[in-house]
Structure 1
């Protein structure tokens, strides 16, 4: 039997009141938005979530952008790969009615390490979930562009600030440009990008992804 998709639709309920009848709309469950919220809350890129869930990056992107409805098989992979349960996936995020007063302090050197072959990331503010921004500090180990098997790309926009050293900033549609301590860049993350250290010591950068 083929997998059956979850259909997300808006339902309207008629409520009878003493003054007459009024219509109340039940807000539809935005499953794609919920998947994206959970993924970003775990500081995962689409590529990392793809590896964890076994779903193609393009499939995850389409789910998050409400372009397709996930099959039961896809939902099972999401739940298992993201380490959540089904009720979490189908629960509407809480709506904020004002300032929530959230705060997260990361002491120097106490971020969550996340090493890769080319970067050594230190994830910041990891105690907060459902963040609108993902901040992290990175030491750039790569010394040549060919150390990257493919362009780095993911959803959102990104701000890059060079903390130490110098580096070549490669982007898919522009010539490489050298950046030095104090320089910054803001760019579309869907565009392929990569960093290569050019200073004697590996460059260090601060990234904020939205």
Structure 2
């Protein structure tokens, strides 16, 4: 197959190119950025920790300048890592191909006195988030024995109807179809339907 013919089939061209053995050059800036991201700190915070200017850190991460040995010492000390860790090649993200499709109504039912949950994506283990739909059966605050609270963070989207969203540190707020809220699930929270029909919501709980 000629080179011109190969160019007409991008997928074949990519397959050929990917089969060529090559060693990627060391990208120190990318490695530093990966370490900082894993720590969950901003450039500003990294600057305070290392004593290096924010602009300098940005240039290092974007491979615009190479850090001096003294700068690398400051990076290792400030980020609380060993110097050799700066030279480990960045880990490539590999697609796992995980997927779990749920048609409407095919989720796993999980009724409670106040909610009627439909758990989604139940075939996947070790998920980083738990999505589920719920019908809010509770109609007043007194139906709960105590605040609902659990580990992680939670996202809530009203699919239909209206609810009152109660939370431990805020005043109750009325929410309608299309409204959403993201909150710390360790904070006490609970919902009640205030529309004529029971409200339906989508919940996503993240670890």
Bin the TM-score by the shorter chain.
0.5 to 0.7
Deviation readout 1:68-96 (Å, 9 max, x if unpaired): xxxxxxxxxxxxxxxxxxxxxxxxxxxx9
Are 2:147 and 1:142 equivalent residues in the alignment?
no
Instruction: State the match for 2:11 in structure 1.
Output: none
Are 2:141 and 1:153 equivalent residues in the alignment?
no
Q: Given the two structures, how large is their TM-score scaled by the length of structure 1?
A: 0.54
Q: What is the CA–CA distance in structure 1 between the aligned matches of 2:103 and 2:200, rounded to whole Å?
A: 17
2:184 to 181, 184, 188: 188
Displacement after TM superposition at 1:99 (Å): 1.1
Q: What is the CA–CA distance in structure 1 between the aligned matches of 2:97 and 2:128, rounded to whole Å?
A: 15
Q: Given the two structures, how large is their TM-score scaled by the length of structure 2?
A: 0.55
1:105 to 98, 101, 116: 101
Q: What is the CA–CA distance in structure 1 between the aligned matches of 2:93 and 2:147, rounded to whole Å?
A: 40
Instruction: State the match for 2:115 in structure 1.
Output: 119
Deviation readout 1:34-77 (Å, 9 max, x if unpaired): xxxxxxxxxxxxxxxxxxxxxxxxxxxxxxxxxxxxxxxxxxxx
Instruction: State the match for 1:25 in structure 2.
Output: none
Instruction: State the match for 2:46 in structure 1.
Output: none
| Structure richer in helix, relative to its length | 2
Q: What is the CA–CA distance in structure 1 between the aligned matches of 2:192 and 2:182, rounded to whole Å?
A: 17
Instruction: State the match for 2:160 in structure 1.
Output: 164
Q: What is the CA–CA distance in structure 1 between the aligned matches of 2:200 and 2:117, rounded to whole Å?
A: 10
Deviation readout 1:77-135 (Å, 9 max, x if unpaired): xxxxxxxxxxxxxxxxxxx9621100000110010000000000000000000000100
Q: What is the CA–CA distance in structure 2 between the aligned matches of 1:112 and 1:149, rounded to whole Å?
A: 25
Q: What is the CA–CA distance in structure 1 between the aligned matches of 2:163 and 2:131, rounded to whole Å?
A: 20
- Count of residues paired in the alignment: 116
Evaluate the alpha carbon distance shift between residue 178 and residue 102 of structure 1 in structure 2; reply closer, same or farther with a 3 A threshold: same
SS class of match (1:162): strand
Structure 2 residue ranges without an equivalent (≥5): 1-91
Whose Rg is larger? Answer: 2
